[in-house]
Amino acid sequence: MTLVRTLEETLADQELRRRETIVEISAAAHIAVTPKLEDTPGALGGPPPALGEHTREVLAAAGFTGDELEALC
């Protein structure tokens, strides 16, 4: 059997914070878990996109036309 931590327990872990494995990246309290690998360390690119921020780009890449995008967005 393996113990699974709650989110609150994980966020309170001082070792994870010391290693900067868990960092808060915006005032809205978005949490990022970054891998700490020796040869390829993880990096944060900034806060996550807002809900729907890339909808048009994703649908256009999926082949939706301008008229279809207007109807959907």
Number of domains in the chain: 2
Q: Do 15 and 31 fall into the same domain?
A: yes
Query: CA-CA distance, 26 to 11, in Å (whole number)?
Result: 15
Q: Are residues 1 and 36 in the same domain?
A: yes
Same domain, 24 and 51: no
| Whole-number pLDDT of residue 27 | 58
* Cα–Cα nearest to 24, from 46, 42, 41: 46
Say whether both 5 and 34 belong to one domain.
yes
What's residue 68's pLDDT?
Answer: 93
List the domain range (segments joined by +) for residue 38: 1-42
Q: Are residues 2 and 33 in the same domain?
A: yes
Query: Whole-angstrom Cα distance, residue 28 to residue 1?
Result: 35
pTM: 0.43
- In this predicted structure, what is the pLDDT of residue 63? 94
Low-confidence ranges of the chain (pLDDT < 50): none
Residues 44, 32 contacting (CB under 8 angstroms): yes
Residues 29 and 4 in one domain: yes
pLDDT at 57: 93
Q: What pLDDT shows up at residue 31?
A: 63
Yes or no: say if 23 and 44 are a contact pair by the CB < 8 Å rule. yes
